[in-house]
Structure 1
Amino acid sequence: MSAATARVGGDAGGTRSLRDEEIAFGTADHAAIAKLAYAEAGLVLAPSKSQLVYGRLARHVRACGLRDFADYIALIESDAEERARAVDALTTNHTSFFRENHHIDHFAGEAWPALRQRLAGGGRVRVWSAACSSGEEPYTLMMAALGFDRAAARTLAGTDFRLLATDLSASSLAAAREGWYAQDTARTIPAGLRALWTHPAEDGGIEIVEAVRAPVAFRALNLLRDWPIRRRFDVIFCRNVMIYFDAATKARLQARLADALERGGFLYIGHSERLAANVAPRFECVGRTMFRKVTE
């Protein structure tokens, strides 16, 4: 919560008063928002997250011309568009280029060579970056696959290759499609790849070149709802999103990810995440939080 927070009142409802805006926010409000966030996106917002919830939603309350969270909760229960904006605001979208680089090294060195050979023979390859946030992960995968070979991009363009990048957050997807990043964000791209696959852009940032962007399809997708996906993937990256879910939600999601993956395909999860007991037997571990599917 911002420095504008005045105090936590001593009333039975636990109402929080602010010196500037006086937006009422009580324990019942937090509980209602937490219930909605869990139902919509599987997010677990414990009472200790109340300041985070306030900080992320207060501006939406003001933008809707409302004076308290109770009215805002009533609004988002009936207004699907505002509810989506609220859930978007509550999601955490922290990512970076070449994050958890051991995954990227494995993808480029172990998974991609066989997939590239399949493409050269006229085959089909599909990669999924689930919870792609603002696009750093899918663009990283493209740069890792292409390496330092400009001709590889032209060759890839003539194959049946697609990289699906999905996220719940509409604002993150809009940023990802734009392909613009601040210099500070781009500094984690290895210098040689940055020189080859980005170019200077307005406002002192960088822009991902079209050859890297073209194979990536950005789509809105709630991982806990229906997936309009008809065929399986060869590689799935689903990293650092399950940390916000409870055990039951993690297990259901992992089972669905396993179902969506070809046998022999690779699943990469976040550094603090683990496979659920009901899913682990379907995989063999090939490295730190890296798995190959071995059985249906």
Structure 2
Amino acid sequence: MHAFHHHAVAALRINADPIAAGSPPLGDAEFRAIAAIMQDEARIHLSDAKTTLVHSRLSRRLREQGLGNFQEYVRLVQKDREERAAMVVALTTNHTHFFREAHHFDHFRATTMPWLQQRARRGAIRIWSAGCSSGEEVHTIAMCLLGESRQVPAWLRQADLKLLATDIAPHVVESASRGLYSAATVEAVPARYREAWMRSSGGDYQMAAEARSLVTAKVLNLFEPWPMRQSYDVIFCRNVMIYFDDQANAELQARFVELLAPGGFLYIGHSERLIGPAATRMTPCGHTIYRKEPR
């Protein structure tokens, strides 16, 4: 495994956390400095509307570092790479659930999977969940591939198939790798999939070994070099790009298109759109579903 940062960006929660009583104020200059660092480190755009969220999240970091004000904190993150990385994680939130935006998985099963089965006869299959959060998305993909019975399909047993799940926050990457979810979290999983590919574990549910073995979870920053050396057949990057500006999105989407194999599929979030070069190179084939032109 490559020993550099792999991060993919998680989403900022819209509703701010409550601010602890007695927290030092966050001045405009400090907010702008923090916003600039977030843009530089993760290309996340922090509008003025996020001031309360930044104040509440980073007040905890101040307390943990024993600092009395935000001026001291800004000086710290400007010189300390570890705290800068911790700040990025503190200001990103991972919100997801199983079978989120169900029409994507309907399309994946009906259209993408038959195409993948054909491709599997000729070579490796690679699928990427970019901005994977705690792994519900990538494990939904795994369950769709495995099917509704406990019998792993023959084509899958023989295929060289790997699912990559990446996120910027190490703690959620660990959750995605572990594949352990609360009973409330798995309620969204259709009963047949749950019975086939989840095992009860002390009141929680763990993804079955057959599902977990398909998934590799890594920390990755979407705007740093990517370690992948081969093309990908399917990329899911949903509800991540809403936190970037247009220039960042155009760059990121163009990189996705380059990484996709001819005929490959890109799934994006319900309020996201393709812009820039990617919009001319991808064909819409459903709501927020795009396909790269086959050669």
TM-score, normalised via structure 1 length:
0.90
Deviations 1:63-82 (A, max 9, x none): 11111121111111121111
Partner of 2:41: 40
- How far the C-alpha of 1:22 sits from its partner, in A, is 3.7
Q: Which moved more, 1:149-158 or 1:96-105?
A: 149-158
Q: Which moved more, 1:247-256 or 1:191-200?
A: 191-200
- How far the C-alpha of 1:158 sits from its partner, in A, is 4.2
On the 8 A contact 1:283/1:295 being kept in 2, the answer is: no
1:254 aligns with 2:253: yes
On the 8 A contact 1:170/1:220 being kept in 2, the answer is: yes
Unaligned runs of 5+ in 2: 1-15
- Match runs of 1:100-249 below 5 Å: 100-119=101-120, 121=121, 123-152=123-152, 156-202=156-202, 204-249=203-248
Deviations 1:96-144 (A, max 9, x none): 100011111111111112212332x252110111110110000000001
Amino acid at match of 1:227: W
On the 8 A contact 1:180/1:205 being kept in 2, the answer is: yes
Amino acid at match of 1:135: G
- Provide the rounded CA distance (Å) in 2 between the counterparts of 1:200 and 1:163: 23
- How far the C-alpha of 1:178 sits from its partner, in A, is 1.8
Amino acid at match of 2:210: A
Structure exhibiting the larger radius of gyration computed from Cα positions = 1
Distance change (3 Å), C-alpha of 1:211 and 1:3: closer
Q: Which moved more, 1:169-178 or 1:267-276?
A: 169-178
On the 8 A contact 2:117/2:155 being kept in 1, the answer is: no
- Provide the rounded CA distance (Å) in 1 between the counterparts of 2:97 and 2:269: 13
Distance change (3 Å), C-alpha of 1:22 and 1:166: closer
- Provide the rounded CA distance (Å) in 2 between the counterparts of 1:2 and 1:260: 37
- Provide the rounded CA distance (Å) in 2 between the counterparts of 1:275 and 1:108: 23
Distance change (3 Å), C-alpha of 1:288 and 1:3: closer
Match of 1:117, SS state, is: helix
Deviations 1:163-190 (A, max 9, x none): 1111111111111112111111111111
- Provide the rounded CA distance (Å) in 2 between the counterparts of 1:252 and 1:43: 13
- How far the C-alpha of 1:154 sits from its partner, in A, is 7.3
- How far the C-alpha of 1:295 sits from its partner, in A, is 6.6
What fraction of aligned residue pairs are identical, expressed as a percent? 44
Deviations 1:182-235 (A, max 9, x none): 111111111111111111122x22111111011101011111111111111000
Partner of 2:9: none
* Structure 1 residue runs of 4 or more that deviate by more than 3 Å after TM superposition: 1-5
- How far the C-alpha of 1:2 sits from its partner, in A, is 5.2
- Match runs of 1:270-289 below 5 Å: 270-289=269-288
Amino acid at match of 1:267: L
Distance change (3 Å), C-alpha of 1:38 and 1:84: same
On the 8 A contact 1:98/1:140 being kept in 2, the answer is: yes
On the 8 A contact 1:168/1:220 being kept in 2, the answer is: yes
Distance change (3 Å), C-alpha of 1:4 and 1:41: closer
Amino acid at match of 1:131: G
- How far the C-alpha of 1:49 sits from its partner, in A, is 0.7
Partner of 1:264: 263
On the 8 A contact 2:149/2:193 being kept in 1, the answer is: no
- How far the C-alpha of 1:95 sits from its partner, in A, is 0.7
1:72 aligns with 2:83: no
TM-score, normalised via structure 2 length:
0.90
- Provide the rounded CA distance (Å) in 2 between the counterparts of 1:192 and 1:35: 47
Amino acid at match of 2:73: Y
On the 8 A contact 2:181/2:204 being kept in 1, the answer is: yes
Count of aligned pairs: 280
Match of 2:277, SS state, is: coil
Partner of 2:58: 57
Structure with bigger RCO (C-alpha 8 Å, 6+ apart): 2
- Provide the rounded CA distance (Å) in 1 between the counterparts of 2:24 and 2:289: 45
Match of 2:94, SS state, is: coil
Partner of 1:92: 93
Q: Which moved more, 1:152-161 or 1:182-191?
A: 152-161
On the 8 A contact 2:97/2:136 being kept in 1, the answer is: yes
- Provide the rounded CA distance (Å) in 1 between the counterparts of 2:78 and 2:163: 34
On the 8 A contact 1:122/1:160 being kept in 2, the answer is: no
Match of 1:92, SS state, is: coil
- Provide the rounded CA distance (Å) in 2 between the counterparts of 1:295 and 1:159: 22
- Provide the rounded CA distance (Å) in 2 between the counterparts of 1:215 and 1:141: 10
